[in-house]
């Protein structure tokens, strides 16, 4: 499906807000942003980077600003939707009458400038996971196991670490090590054996 058709279909699917979403879409498209369809919603990008998106819900519709935390928000119209949200901010509306074209354009243009400047939240630091002692010993004793383990992606290695660490009893940890050793030698991730079921 073409982007235009997909975004149009999204807007038409939300009958309560079709007029309002079309209005927001037209305001956004009057700028240099390009329209895309990601995560089942309209997203607007600058040089391939996400700047903002549209959303429609049961009781409101909104504009999502991907790096909204950095916007000045002098009018205090942006909300953080949950405590776990880092950079996303939302501008909510209840009806087409809530749309102030000039205010929206000001925020959208600021978001574009922000994207041009390259300002973004720092990447989340990866949590350091210590290799379980039991696995460390097994890797030291079995060269084939060690060689294959090093070929696994960091994600798959972390899965195995957590699998062993999460066991409470030593006997369970030992059984888990026995279970995963052949999988590691076959370069299979912890859940890899279920892939082609």
95 and 17 inside one domain: yes
107 and 153 inside one domain: no
Calculate what percentage of the chain has a pLDDT beyond 70. Answer: 93
| Domain at 86, CATH number | 3.90.1150.200
Q: How many domains does the chain have?
A: 2
Average pLDDT over residues 93-113: 95
24-48, pLDDT tens digit by residue? 999 999 999 999 999 889 999 999 9
Residue 16 has pLDDT above 70, yes or no: yes
pLDDT at 190: 84
103 and 145 inside one domain: no
142 and 190 inside one domain: yes
Query: Which domain-ending residue is among 117, 146, 172?
Result: 117
90 and 144 inside one domain: no
Higher model confidence: residue 190 or residue 34? Answer: 34
141-166, pLDDT tens digit by residue? 999 999 999 999 888 898 999 999 99
* Helix, strand, or coil (residue 12): helix
66 and 153 inside one domain: no
46-99, pLDDT tens digit by residue? 999 999 999 999 999 999 999 999 999 999 999 988 877 888 899 999 999 999
Query: Which domain-ending residue is among 117, 141, 176?
Result: 117
Q: What is the DSSP string of 15-74?
A: GGGHHHHHHHHHHHHTTT-EEEEETTEEEEEETTEEEEEEEE-SS-EEEEETTGGGS--T
CA–CA separation, 125 and 96 (whole Å): 41
Query: Which domain-ending residue is among 82, 117, 152?
Result: 117
pLDDT at 121: 80
pLDDT band (50, 70, 90) for residue 197: very low
85 and 165 inside one domain: no
Residue 104 has pLDDT above 50, yes or no: yes
Residue 11 has pLDDT above 60, yes or no: yes
**Enclosing domain of residue 147:** 133-194
Find the radius of gyration of the CA atoms of the chain: 24
Tell me which long-range contacts 181-186 makes (C-beta under 8 A, separation of at least 24).
Answer: 181/138, 181/142, 181/145, 184/145, 184/148, 184/149, 184/152, 184/160, 185/144, 185/145, 185/148, 186/148
Q: Is residue 126, in this structure, part of any structural domain at all?
A: no
pLDDT at 173: 94
Q: Is residue 99, in this structure, part of any structural domain at all?
A: yes
57 and 151 inside one domain: no
86 and 175 inside one domain: no
Residues 24, 10: contact at Cβ < 8 Å? no
**Residues 16, 19, 24, 28, Cα dihedral to 10°:** 130
């Amino acid at each position: 499906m073409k982007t235009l058709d997909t975004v149009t279909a999204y807007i038409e699917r939300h009958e309560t807000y079709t007029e309002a979403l079309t209005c927001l879409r037209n305001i956004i498209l009057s700028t240099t942003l390009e329209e895309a369809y990601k995560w089942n919603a309209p997203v607007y990008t600058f040089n391939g980077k996400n700047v903002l998106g549209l959303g429609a819900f049961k009781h409101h519709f909104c504009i999502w600003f991907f790096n909204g935390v950095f916007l000045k928000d002098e009018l205090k119209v942006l909300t953080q939707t949950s405590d776990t949200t880092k950079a996303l901010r939302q501008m909510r509306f209840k009806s087409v009458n809530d749309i102030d074209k000039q205010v929206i354009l000001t925020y959208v243009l600021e978001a574009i400038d922000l994207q041009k400047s390259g300002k973004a939240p720092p990447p989340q630091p990866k949590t350091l996971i210590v290799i379980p002692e039991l696995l460390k010993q097994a890797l030291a004793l079995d060269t084939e196991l060690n060689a294959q383990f090093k070929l696994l992606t960091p994600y798959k290695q972390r899965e195995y670490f957590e699998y062993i660490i999460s066991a409470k009893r030593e006997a369970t940890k030992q059984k888990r090590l026995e279970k995963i050793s052949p999988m590691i030698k076959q370069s299979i991730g912890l859940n890899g054996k279920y892939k082609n079921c």
